[in-house]
Amino acid sequence: MARLPRALAPLRHSAYRLLAVSMALSLLSAGLWAIAVVWQVVALGGGPAALSLVSGLSAGGMLASTLLGGALADRLPQRHILLAVSLVQAGSVGVVAALSLTGVVTLGELAAVALVGGIATGLYYPAYSAQVPALVPEGDLLAVNGLEGMVRPMLQNAAGPAAAGLLVAALSPGAALAATAVVSLLAAACLAALPATPARRAPLEEGAPRPGLLTDVREGFGYMARTPWLLATLLFAAFMLLAFMGPLEVLVPFAVRESGGGPTQHGYVLAAFGLGGAVGSLVVASRRLPRRYLTVMNLLWALGCVPIVVFGFGASLVVMVVAGAVMGAMFEAGMVIWGTLLQRRVPPALLGRVSSLDFFVSLSFMPLSMALAGTVSQVLGLTATFLVAGLAPPVLGLVAILAARLPADELAHPLDVPAREQEPEPVEEPAVLVEPVLDCV
């Protein structure tokens, strides 16, 4: 393959190309679902409380399954987990799409599929995070995170929501749900052609009993508890998302509607979030990691919440779109640093479990945030709710930085040096590969 630009260098690895395409399709599917489910709830006559129920079940499913997903990702071929998840998502969303298109879908069925999707996502994230370093060398990890940081918001927060908004406006929520299922099926087709990689954990001593899943989970918790930078960042993320995520997911659509918008305009706001995220990822990936990587990362997330306050003041749709772009840029810039940090400072044998703890701890309050958003906004009003969502995270971020002494830690463990360029261990091709339904490369 011809020499690729730095940001695309990971694509020279054929196995990673397959994984990257499947990831892109999964992100597109998630973006389609995000809009389709909102306006399916609205079509059923639901309001903020009903949407809180559906969103909360999805987040709760992720929270319930992610620790198991981390333990499995460190002991099973990650490709098997990723393939199973994509097939489950395609099948479950396909069922609710058919029910919607025939006019018989109910809120309960939609909530059940949201729960299944959340459980599947909780299994997907640790497996994917553990799979990447097995396919690309350490020297390409920053480029991988930058590339994925560009692709993720463009598909999940831009192309997917925009396409779903157009499908809902032109046809129906059921059409957007059907598109979600088809895209998930295409992601599964790519994963079916991906070779399996062995688990990256230390081999057991001869005659030693294999530890159970609970023992594996406890080992991950132990590593987190004795690693201050990891614990402080995850606790900050948990409380930040408690304040921020519910208003973003549940209340923004209604703020858009109060400003005279609808599904298409809601899609524009999320698309701006995604495009801003792509720019933020590109900027960070184009440079070496900052010397103060922990401080910069946490401040990006903390200050990235502030623009959400404009949604509480009846701002114009143009202002809302700009706010979405700024939030997306700062969040995804921080995520590029975070992904590289985990892959370079966490032992490979623990990466699946630490990735699951990233999901579990940082999202631990997300179901509560979703569930409370509608009720709190009815009691305090949209303005006060959005003010809390935007102004509480900077305070929490500063507390985390100072309490865990992150400035001293990042200087003691510098990452602003060239990473090792060694290739990962060769991936053995299986004797027989399932022929992909789609030419994914």
Place of tokens 């930040």: 240
Convert the pLDDT of each residue in 124-153 to its tens digit.
888 887 777 777 766 667 677 777 777 777
More confident residue, 208 or 355: 355
The chain-wide mean pLDDT, for the chain, equals 80
Residue of higher predicted confidence among 52 and 172: 172
Query: What pLDDT is stored for residue 109 in this prediction?
Result: 84
Among 34, 62, 38, CA closest to 51: 38
Q: Collapsing DSSP states into helix, strand and coil, what is residue 214?
A: helix
Transcribe 317-354 into DSSP letters: HHHHHHHHHHHHHHHHHHHHHHHHHHHHHS-GGGHHHH
Q: For residues 48 and 33, give the distance between their C-alpha atoms in angstroms, rounded to a whole number.
A: 17
Q: Which residue has the tokens 């939609």?
A: 110
pLDDT in tens, 357-402: 887 877 777 777 877 887 888 888 888 999 999 999 999 999 999 9
Q: What is the mean pLDDT of residues 215-221?
A: 83
Q: Is the pLDDT of residue 419 over 70?
A: no
Identity at 386, one-letter amino acid code: F
> How far, in Å, CA of 284 to CA of 287, rounded?
6
Q: Which residues contact 145 (CB under 8 A, 6 or more apart)?
A: 281, 285, 335, 336, 339, 340, 343
More confident residue, 233 or 10: 233
Half-sphere exposure of 63 (CA within 13 A, CB side): 15
Maximum average pLDDT range among 68-77, 109-118, 262-271:
109-118
pLDDT (0 to 100) of residue 232: 93
Q: Which CATH fold would you assign to the domain 12-197+225-412?
A: Growth Hormone; Chain: A; (1.20.1250)
Residue 70 has pLDDT above 60, yes or no: yes
In this prediction, residues 26-53 reach a mean pLDDT of 82
Q: How far apart are the first and last CA of the chain?
A: 13
Q: What is the pLDDT of residue 386?
A: 92
For range 418-437, the mean pLDDT = 41
- CA 402 – CA 62 distance, rounded (Å): 30
**Average confidence (pLDDT) over 306-333:** 90
Distance of CA 53 to the CA centre of its chain: 20
Per DSSP, the chain holds a count of helices (H) and strands (E) of: 17, 0
Q: What's the pTM value of the predicted model, to 2 decimals?
A: 0.72
What is the separation of C-alpha 377 from the centre of its chain, rounded to a whole number of angstroms? 26
At 106 the pLDDT is 82
Higher-confidence residue of 64 and 408: namely 408
The pLDDT assigned to 390 comes to 93
Distance between CA atoms of residues 254 and 38, nearest Å: 10
Q: H helices of 247-316, where? A: 252-258, 263-285, 293-304
Per-residue model confidence (pLDDT) at position 417: 60
Cα–Cα separations (whole angstroms), residue 126 to 68, 83, 312? 9, 13, 35
